[in-house]
Structure 1
Amino acid sequence: MAQWPRHFMLVTLIVISEIQTAKAGLECMSCTNSASVRDCQQTTIKCGDDEECYLEKRTTSHLSLSYSAGCRKKAICNIMASLGSLRTGRSHHLGAVLGKRDLLNCAYCCSTEMDKNGPCNVHLCS
């Protein structure tokens, strides 16, 4: 009978560990300066608890499009959202000049779980 409480505690610890593992971060597509969103869909990354998925679309100095995606701190996403949004949700459409030549066309964050269409950042700048 003394064995039962130890087994119960062990099972409880395993269950708690599994629940925490299941809650560990969003899965987002990930890329840096890719020519298309489709290229970004080839790789995914797990975000930390204090991160959300993001997608940025830039027009380069050569007038081509460039996409970057991955995980971004929630604090940065909150700042972006507070700057203004053209649609509901945690998003921000920008027309900001980066460096001397690149134009940031859009930058969006999202925090919903992956579904049948993929990570939440797949269609943010379309």
Structure 2
Amino acid sequence: MTQLNLVVIRTNRQDDQVRFYTTLGLTFNHHRHGNGPYHYSAIIGGLTFEIYPLPATEHEPDTTTRLGFTIESLNATLQCLEEMGIETVQAPASTEWGYAAVVKDPDGRRVELIEKLIK
């Protein structure tokens, strides 16, 4: 059985990214492995989500990766993100997967937020 267990994003705005993803409900630890860079790490189920600094040879983070998170309350989360200046690129709407919206994280990655349907 194949299972995704690690997602790493790289940024030159670590604090902003941690604040954004913490608003989605993630809890981060700040640490490093050996002589590697300090970074932030959160566990979501069996997945490790990490926020690393950009390597010195890169100047702009990759914004082509799209992420998706199931959250408790879409409207409350969107209100908090709006107060942080986060852009909503797809307004909340009911879909077959749940009540959903798309926002951009501080680097510009599109992040789909879905409030899980209660059955």
Q: Which structure has greater helix proportion?
A: 1
TM over 0.5: no
The TM-score, its normalising length taken from structure 2, stands at: 0.26
Asked which structure has the greater CA Rg, the reply is: 1
The TM-score, its normalising length taken from structure 1, stands at: 0.25
Q: Which structure has greater strand proportion?
A: 2
